[in-house]
């Protein structure tokens, strides 16, 4: 019998208790049918069949009392518990996740709606790599992971309280090379759900005034991460980064981002010496990145493409990528979480602080 990790159970119960005290909320059950993508050489032996998964979500509709809710056409916010049978109980086991999400309306009519749901949070996999008992599992090096999820769906309003939906979804598990092996699990799926409203129907309003967003912002960030190198069970190396970021906002939803990045990845030094390079090689890298930011109130979801402009040693090629979120805790102070990758290879998770200069 698969047991739900205690901390996920506690968080789910807290979410349910909070929802029951709200005047209006929604419960949603979802079933998914998909497969694990064999995205790297040497993982096909782990894929034994289709992935069947289920979800339980709590959602709350926004009323428009905050201007961003109105500008995003009254999205829903919620909390989702995810459970999946990975079709290989001896090597991969089962996967669970608990994550907040936001569901953005794309098209709405009296009965027919389309939406995109985006979420991310904590994941747990019951079978991880073990050098003795599970040495063939090169996908998952740690039980704890970070998950990212996206669902696009069409829904039909059956009654004032009940709606049904169908669509496509994608779930990703990774620990960001904190512990290797970390090839990750990618699960595309077809999905169907039933959504039930509890409580009175929410009254939507338009705000009295909508503040004009600042067009330009200049931020300075400092981030830190840890990663492992091969061979497996080697030391964890610190990764430092400093970023100067200039952004230009367009409307209330979109932001063009340009970064000057300086990376100091100490995991590069042993890798460089293995290639026959000097142990004193300069491992500092300077990069330029252009990205897009999806703005939701104080939160910005970021995806960017970068190129190393100055680097004596480039273990994974000329290009790098970043995706993650930034959150403005105040007018000046920002919090940042990023996953840095080289195409589909995770480099490390980055956590840090930023300060708005302009």
Q: Where are the domains of the chain?
A: 6-199, 216-356
Residue pair 220/196 in contact by the 8 Å Cβ criterion: no
H helix runs in the chain, sequence order = 6-21, 67-71, 268-274
Alpha carbon 52 to its chain centroid, in Å, reads 21
**pLDDT exceeds 50 at position 103:** yes
Query: What are the pLDDT digits (tens) for 332-356?
Result: 999 999 999 998 889 999 999 999 9
**Beta pairing class for 299-311 and 319-328:** antiparallel
Beta strands in the chain (DSSP E): 24-34, 51-61, 76-88, 93-108, 112-125, 144-157, 162-174, 185-199, 216-228, 236-250, 254-265, 284-296, 299-311, 319-328, 333-342, 345-356
Query: What are the pLDDT digits (tens) for 303-313?
Result: 999 999 999 88
Query: What are the pLDDT digits (tens) for 5-28?
Result: 555 656 666 665 555 555 689 999
The pLDDT of residue 307 is: 97
Q: Do domains 6-199 and 216-356 have the same CATH topology?
A: yes
What is the C-alpha to C-alpha distance for residues 97 and 143, in angstroms, rounded to an integer? 11
Query: What are the pLDDT digits (tens) for 267-309?
Result: 998 888 888 888 788 999 999 999 999 999 999 999 999 999 9
Q: Which CATH class is domain 6-199?
A: mainly beta
Residues 52-61: what's their mean pLDDT?
96
Residue range 216-356 in CATH 2.40.160? yes
């Amino acid at each position: 019998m698969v047991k739900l990790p205690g901390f996920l159970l506690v968080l789910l119960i807290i979410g349910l208790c909070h929802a029951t005290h709200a005047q209006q909320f929604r419960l949603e059950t979802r079933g998914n049918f998909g497969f694990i993508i064999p995205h790297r050489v040497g993982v096909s032996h782990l894929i034994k069949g289709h992935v069947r998964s289920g979800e339980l979500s709590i959602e709350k509709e926004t009323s428009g009392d905050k201007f961003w809710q109105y500008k995003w056409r009254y999205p829903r916010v919620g909390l989702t518990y995810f459970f999946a049978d990975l079709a290989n109980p001896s090597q991969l086991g089962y996967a669970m996740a608990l994550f907040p999400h936001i569901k953005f309306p794309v098209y709405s009519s009296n009965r027919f709606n389309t939406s995109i749901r985006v979420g991310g949070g904590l994941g747990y996999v019951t079978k991880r790599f073990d050098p003795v008992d599970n040495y063939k599992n090169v996908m998952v090096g740690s039980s704890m992971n970070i998950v990212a999820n996206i669902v696009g769906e069409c829904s039909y309003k059956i009654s004032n309280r009940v709606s049904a939906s169908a669509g496509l979804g994608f779930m990703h598990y990774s620990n960001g090379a904190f512990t290797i092996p970390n090839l990750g699990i990618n699960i595309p799926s077809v999905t169907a759900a039933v959504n039930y409203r509890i409580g009175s129907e929410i009254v939507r309003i338009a705000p009295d005034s909508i503040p004009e967003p600042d067009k330009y912002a200049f931020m300075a960030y400092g981030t830190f991460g840890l990663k492992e190198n091969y061979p497996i069970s080697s030391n964890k190396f610190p990764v430092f980064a400093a970023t100067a970021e200039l952004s230009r906002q367009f409307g209330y939803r979109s932001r063009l981002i340009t970064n000057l990045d300086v990376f100091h990845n100490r995991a590069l030094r042993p890798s460089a010496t293995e290639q026959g390079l000097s142990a004193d090689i300069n491992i500092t890298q300077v990069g330029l990145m252009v990205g897009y930011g999806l703005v939701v109130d104080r939160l910005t979801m970021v995806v960017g493409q970068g190129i190393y402009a100055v680097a004596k040693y480039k273990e994974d090629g000329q290009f790098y990528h970043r995706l993650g979120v930034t959150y403005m805790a105040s007018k000046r102070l920002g919090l940042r979480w990023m996953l840095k990758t080289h195409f589909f290879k995770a480099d490390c998770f980055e956590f840090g602080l930023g300060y708005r200069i302009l």
